[in-house]
Structure 1
Amino acid sequence: MMSILSGRYGRLSSFALCTLTLALAEARAQEPSSPQVHALPPVSVTANLVPTPWEAVGSAVTTLTGEELEKRQTRLVSDVLREVPGLAVNRTGPLGQLTQVRIRGAEGNHTLVLIDGIRVNDPSAGSEFDFAHLLAAEVERVEVLRGPQSALYGSDAIGGVINIVTRRGQGRPTLRLSLEGGSFDTLAGRASVSGGGERYDFIAGAAGLRTHGVSVADEKRGNPERDGYRNGTGFATLNLRPSDIFELSLVGRYVDFHSDSDTEIGGVGAIDADQDIKGDQIYGRIQGRLSLLEDRWEHILGLSHVRHQRDYREAGAVTSSYEGKTYRIDYQSNVYFETLSFLDAAHVATFAVQHEDNRAVSESQWSSFDRSIDTTGFIGQYQVTLLDRLTLTGSLRHDRNEIFKDADTFRLTGAYAIPQTGTKLRASYGTGVKNPTLFELFGYTNTYRGNPDLKPEKGTGWDAGIDQAFWNDRAVLDATYFNQTIEDLIQGTGQTSANLPGRSKIWGTELGLTLRLLENLTARGAYTYSSGEDATGAELVRRPSHIASLNLDYRFLEDRAKLNLGIVYNGKQKDWAFDALWNRRVVELDAYTLVNLAGSYAISGNAEIHARVENLFDEHYQEVFSYGTPGRAGYVGINLAF
């Protein structure tokens, strides 16, 4: 573990060492125990700004638990997102390269990403979050909320929201260690310590990954150079409850990465080059929660800071630097009450204020850039549940922006539960807005001027679906039809950007099925069909019409042994290729199927060995035109818990 986090990651090594020392000091000769697995309650923490029971959620939401990520031996959060209905994941090469996630055919920067309540989209990267550097260590759950969500979350949420929540500590202090190695000279490890009681809980840890990788430019196009990647991540969460009515939460995360990269030449595509990217990310939040009137009136006040920094280098010399910063303060008040004499109704009224300052800075040999923008949003939401069956939710938001006109967005959802048949009917309708990025407005080099006359993109979307349990609750089927439009879509045109007149239209269906075939055999499948075109009628790029996945999990030998089989199918999709003058044309990328196999065996109460094979049949494929992807790879490792 220390070998991974040494040298460039000295700060993370010290952090990990302190973590281990704390764990050993607090263990105090207690007998080792296995980490306990606790089932998560059927509650969404993302859909309505307040924890909402599954049967009352009218939006399309998919939740993946940390236990599921462990069974799959997921190392990057983006990999498990490939199995979520409605999502398309594109990585520009192997590990460490730009990774975009599109929800229901919207753009990558229409996806808002939260990590432990922190908005982490990068103002210096088109207000988009790059999933390349997000390791899956100690993730408790991933929630994906699909459809326009600007009424709750403001700009960046036209497509939807992805919320990643870190595990919370509980019980006596527990130390967890993991180490693995394998193909492409890959070495990865993590360490964490966690614990908690009535008045506190905490988790702190570090994770590292190093690989010599494969060529970023497709090797089969004559690019043999290997491009490596290194990632060191440290994280900590502390929750203090000095009284029954108050909780103080502190969250911090630091990521340091170094990615070798290649270049792209018009008329040729990606080719080997002596280039690399070095950067870091810092996320932090402090939050206070006060509950009054026997938990019927809740106040939440939070302050967040996010910083993204990266240097682009050629032959070891920095050619350009980018920095994005976000400062945010938010307040939320929730009031819970009941009117039992009127339809046995339960009510939740929410008011929130969110103020955010975004700044982007860039320096290069051609130009410099330093701009910022402030936005303040006012949110009101009302939710009512009637007769424990029908839940209606309405949300309204007003945004004040120092550059654009004020914007109003809204969202309506409904859910009707039929307990006798295990059925839930649901529907939602919402509007969204995406402000132009600072670079799109003001440019950042002498060859890209920007366009200060850009208008915000506007989205409208609705969906309707059913969640149906059957076979004595051993199976759950969810089906959704969605339809959404994006008006004034912003696209690059030569040396600037412009709003595309008219509306881009996307529609499709999402299917999910979970089956407990046997007591120790579970299957989970997903399928998405989508059709999207811009206002000119051209098919949207990097949005395959067909995406499907199947995951089988099998436990045997008294649950000491586990096998997991994952299959991901990505249909044909369009992409752009550029000629020598950088005029673009549409090309088609072939469909591909990836098969992954993972297994583990508990050799004792606190030691487990594991192994996996990724891309079992050595499929050659491209997610982005002319960029390479890894072939078959194998890894083995060990997990320890004390």
Structure 2
Amino acid sequence: MDYPRRLFVKFVLLLLPFIAYSQTYKLDDVVISSKRDLSGPFFTTDVETIKSFEEAGNEKLVDVLETLPGVSINQSGAPGQQATIRIRGSEGRHVLVLVDGVRVNDPTDPNKSFNPALLNVGDVERVEVLKGAQTLLYGSDAIGGVVNIITKKGSEKDYITLSAGYSRGIQLDNTFTFGDSVLHTHIFHDKAEGISAANGEDEDDGYENKGFTLNLFHSFNEKFEGDWTFKVTDQFSDTDNVDFSTGVPIDADGDYAKNIQQVFSQKLNYKTSSGKLSHLLGLNKIDRFNKYGSSIVGSYGKELTNEIHWNQKVENGSYLLGLENYSESFSQDDLDEKYTGLTSLVLIRDYKEGPVFGQLGARASYHTEAESNFSPSIGLGKFYGDHRVAFNYQQGFKAPTLYQLYGPFSTGNNELDAETSEYVDLNYSYKKLFELSLFYNRIDDFIGFEGNYINTDWLESYGLEINSQKNIGAYELNSGLFLASFNQADGKKALRRPSQKVTFGVGRDFGEGQSLRISYVWSGKRFDRLKTNGETLELDPYSLVDVHYERSFKDFTLNTGIENAFGEDYKEAFGYAVQPFTVYGRVKYSY
């Protein structure tokens, strides 16, 4: 079958839920944050809840994100190895990740990316993925998109879960209620012998992931409430080394990466009849240790979040006024501690009059090392019955990371300018059944690496994304299509990101606690590059199929499934292994 025909078939699969027999479908009600509430009318936003995690058999964040159109994961090896999130072709550093509002991107990482490889979703209530530039609402680090992770505030029943498959694990989840307070605790431990991170090698590169989450909610009165979260994750993974002349991984017995991450958040909300005052205080602390041969390098990073927002309702919309400060530090065993700070003032006017809605806003930012920035945004939309059309234009920026500014061995460059962006999004949706988004994103003063970090020129991406979903009797159907083009000023290929992706899922509820779900992902070709001669390599397209079955009893839930059901041999990055064919099983006991 030739390529155009294959693409046409995939497009038909995409539209099946939309063109199927008409039946009213309402998504599960989801409580959303004020920031997402402001962004939602203008951008494509995927919301994955605990219900969807369990139905699809997803235990890790990478599994949740991989099934979303417009989102791609690059993993340097099989499960447990370093992974990068890209949204609509962005760099990993352009995607901001939040846990209960706290910025958790890794300050010790050269690009300040977030590694989702070992983040367990057992303590997660929902994941919100905002696609496209989000500088107006979230500031620096968000010119590609935002992944907002909201932890559980409690469970209806306490439970224990045992799992076995590629890894073995246990989870304990408990909720305690006393007066106007709710305390939720979650403990987990996951371990795997693994396979070699380097493709085709015999050495096993295993991982171990353990940690806990404490969440306390207290209602002082009808107007004033507080929410405190403390999350600790201790991750260890065997790693392979890299041939620095080629960039290709090679077996390295004894090398490892160990990460200890602590996240604390305090959220206070005071509500009035016409508005809400919110304060967020957060800390993200990471200690990372990498062993290369006989050397162990320790890296230490912290980021403090301090935000205060006033949201005022008015007759035809609302105002949001916010003052935000982020301070960041980074050091290594052989590198003194370095600091940067970022202070922003944001003002947003949200407007709605009949079927017409709009948004006008701006963010003014001061960075201690890069130049100040002013980022305006405008959005306009209208409802035509069940149809909605929206347009958004916004400018954004991404401050240089501490590593890019002060990295060791003369790699850092403290003269770097901030990356700036212009983003345009045209969005159409029909109820919650069908959504089409056309987007364009251009990043200037793009930061690249040529012996040290420098501002090169520009990177642009443009394309379309389609999402559809439908309930037909006992069947749940969803599908997505992503088509894009990525261009760089130097004419080189943008690496490790597919320009085409198709997703399709079907779920069947058989009654009596039985359900079956099958998910399909087709990812188009992507490119990688050898360091020896700069040769660009083309990585083949691939298809992945996962199957998950669930059977619920009074106090027990049994889950079993297959990941990579057809044993597809594929590559997300040249030279690295991937998810093998895996059969797993889980038992959950609620009490």
Q: TM-score, normalised by structure 2?
A: 0.92
Q: Which residue of 1 aligns with 2:538?
A: 588
Q: Report the alpha carbon displacement of residue 197 of structure 1 after superposing the two structures with TM.
A: 8.1
Q: Report the alpha carbon displacement of residue 258 of structure 1 after superposing the two structures with TM.
A: 0.7
- Work out whether residues 609 and 639 of structure 1, in 8 Å CA contact, stay in contact via their aligned partners in 2: yes
Residues 524/196 of structure 1: CA separation in 2 closer, same or farther (3 Å cut): farther
Gaps of 5+ in 2: 1-25
- Residue 84 of structure 1 aligns with an amino acid whose one-letter code is L
Q: Which residue of 2 aligns with 1:255?
A: 233
- Residue 416 of structure 2 aligns with an amino acid whose one-letter code is L
User: After superposition, what is the alpha-carbon deviation per residue over 1:425-456, rounded to whole angstroms, capped at 9, x for unaligned?
Assistant: 12211111011111211222x2x432222111
Aligned positions of 1:60-79 closer than 5 A: 60-79=44-63
SS of 1:543 mapped into structure 2: coil
Alpha-carbon distance between aligned partners in 2 of 1:190 and 1:431, rounded to the nearest angstrom: 43
Q: Which residue of 2 aligns with 1:598?
A: 548
Is 1:352 equivalent to 2:322 in the alignment? yes
Q: Which residue of 2 aligns with 1:13?
A: none
Q: Which residue of 1 aligns with 2:95?
A: 111
Alpha-carbon distance between aligned partners in 1 of 2:478 and 2:84, rounded to the nearest angstrom: 24
Q: Report the alpha carbon displacement of residue 267 of structure 1 after superposing the two structures with TM.
A: 3.5
Q: Report the alpha carbon displacement of residue 98 of structure 1 after superposing the two structures with TM.
A: 1.2
- Residue 489 of structure 2 aligns with an amino acid whose one-letter code is A
Q: Which residue of 1 aligns with 2:3?
A: none
Q: Report the alpha carbon displacement of residue 201 of structure 1 after superposing the two structures with TM.
A: 2.9
SS of 2:445 mapped into structure 1: strand
Q: Which residue of 2 aligns with 1:381?
A: 348
Q: Which residue of 1 aligns with 2:160?
A: 177
Aligned positions of 1:179-578 closer than 5 A: 179-183=162-166, 186-194=167-175, 199-219=180-200, 223-265=201-243, 266-267=245-246, 269-274=248-253, 275-292=255-272, 294=273, 296-314=274-292, 317-338=294-315, 345=316, 347-363=317-333, 367-387=334-354, 389-419=355-385, 422-444=386-408, 446=409, 448-469=410-431, 476-494=433-451, 496-501=452-457, 503-517=458-472, 519-556=473-510, 558-578=511-531
Alpha-carbon distance between aligned partners in 1 of 2:198 and 2:514, rounded to the nearest angstrom: 39
- Work out whether residues 370 and 416 of structure 2, in 8 Å CA contact, stay in contact via their aligned partners in 1: no
Q: Which residue of 2 aligns with 1:143?
A: 128
Residues 146/182 of structure 1: CA separation in 2 closer, same or farther (3 Å cut): closer
User: After superposition, what is the alpha-carbon deviation per residue over 1:115-136, rounded to whole angstroms, capped at 9, x for unaligned?
Assistant: 1111101111122111122111
User: After superposition, what is the alpha-carbon deviation per residue over 1:16-53, rounded to whole angstroms, capped at 9, x for unaligned?
Assistant: xxxxxxxxxxxxxxxxxxxxxx97436642xx626459
Alpha-carbon distance between aligned partners in 2 of 1:235 and 1:440, rounded to the nearest angstrom: 32
Q: Which residue of 2 aligns with 1:6?
A: none
SS of 2:456 mapped into structure 1: strand
Alpha-carbon distance between aligned partners in 1 of 2:280 and 2:357, rounded to the nearest angstrom: 28
CA RMSD of aligned residues (A): 1.9
Q: Report the alpha carbon displacement of residue 83 of structure 1 after superposing the two structures with TM.
A: 2.0
SS of 2:158 mapped into structure 1: strand
SS of 1:430 mapped into structure 2: strand
Q: How many residues align?
A: 563
Residues 270/464 of structure 1: CA separation in 2 closer, same or farther (3 Å cut): same
- Residue 634 of structure 1 aligns with an amino acid whose one-letter code is V
Q: Report the alpha carbon displacement of residue 102 of structure 1 after superposing the two structures with TM.
A: 1.1
Runs of 4+ aligned structure 1 residues displaced above 6 Å come to none
Alpha-carbon distance between aligned partners in 2 of 1:110 and 1:569, rounded to the nearest angstrom: 24
Q: Which residue of 2 aligns with 1:124?
A: 108
Q: Report the alpha carbon displacement of residue 314 of structure 1 after superposing the two structures with TM.
A: 3.8
SS of 2:405 mapped into structure 1: helix
- Residue 158 of structure 1 aligns with an amino acid whose one-letter code is I
Residues 87/170 of structure 1: CA separation in 2 closer, same or farther (3 Å cut): closer
Aligned positions of 1:59-98 closer than 5 A: 59-98=43-82
Alpha-carbon distance between aligned partners in 1 of 2:389 and 2:179, rounded to the nearest angstrom: 38
Alpha-carbon distance between aligned partners in 1 of 2:558 and 2:68, rounded to the nearest angstrom: 28
Alpha-carbon distance between aligned partners in 2 of 1:400 and 1:511, rounded to the nearest angstrom: 37
- Work out whether residues 285 and 305 of structure 1, in 8 Å CA contact, stay in contact via their aligned partners in 2: yes
Q: Report the alpha carbon displacement of residue 85 of structure 1 after superposing the two structures with TM.
A: 2.4
- Work out whether residues 456 and 488 of structure 1, in 8 Å CA contact, stay in contact via their aligned partners in 2: yes
User: After superposition, what is the alpha-carbon deviation per residue over 1:213-255, rounded to whole angstroms, capped at 9, x for unaligned?
Assistant: 1100001xxx110100000021121110021110011011000
SS of 2:251 mapped into structure 1: strand
Alpha-carbon distance between aligned partners in 2 of 1:626 and 1:455, rounded to the nearest angstrom: 33
Alpha-carbon distance between aligned partners in 2 of 1:180 and 1:210, rounded to the nearest angstrom: 10
Q: TM-score, normalised by structure 1?
A: 0.85
- Residue 277 of structure 1 aligns with an amino acid whose one-letter code is A
Aligned positions of 1:49-60 closer than 5 A: 49=35, 51=37, 57-60=41-44
- Residue 453 of structure 1 aligns with an amino acid whose one-letter code is E
Aligned positions of 1:617-628 closer than 5 A: 617-628=566-577
Aligned positions of 1:146-165 closer than 5 A: 146-165=131-150
Residues 268/384 of structure 1: CA separation in 2 closer, same or farther (3 Å cut): closer
Alpha-carbon distance between aligned partners in 1 of 2:179 and 2:428, rounded to the nearest angstrom: 39
- Residue 386 of structure 1 aligns with an amino acid whose one-letter code is E
Gaps of 5+ in 1: 1-37, 339-344, 470-474
Alpha-carbon distance between aligned partners in 1 of 2:155 and 2:453, rounded to the nearest angstrom: 50
The sequence identity of aligned pairs, in percent, is 24
Alpha-carbon distance between aligned partners in 2 of 1:301 and 1:530, rounded to the nearest angstrom: 38
Alpha-carbon distance between aligned partners in 2 of 1:414 and 1:79, rounded to the nearest angstrom: 34
Residues 39/203 of structure 1: CA separation in 2 closer, same or farther (3 Å cut): farther
User: After superposition, what is the alpha-carbon deviation per residue over 1:258-315, rounded to whole angstroms, capped at 9, x for unaligned?
Assistant: 10000111237211102111121000011211112x2x13111121111111111145
Residues 406/620 of structure 1: CA separation in 2 closer, same or farther (3 Å cut): same
- Residue 502 of structure 2 aligns with an amino acid whose one-letter code is A
Alpha-carbon distance between aligned partners in 2 of 1:632 and 1:617, rounded to the nearest angstrom: 7
Alpha-carbon distance between aligned partners in 2 of 1:217 and 1:576, rounded to the nearest angstrom: 16
Alpha-carbon distance between aligned partners in 1 of 2:506 and 2:579, rounded to the nearest angstrom: 23
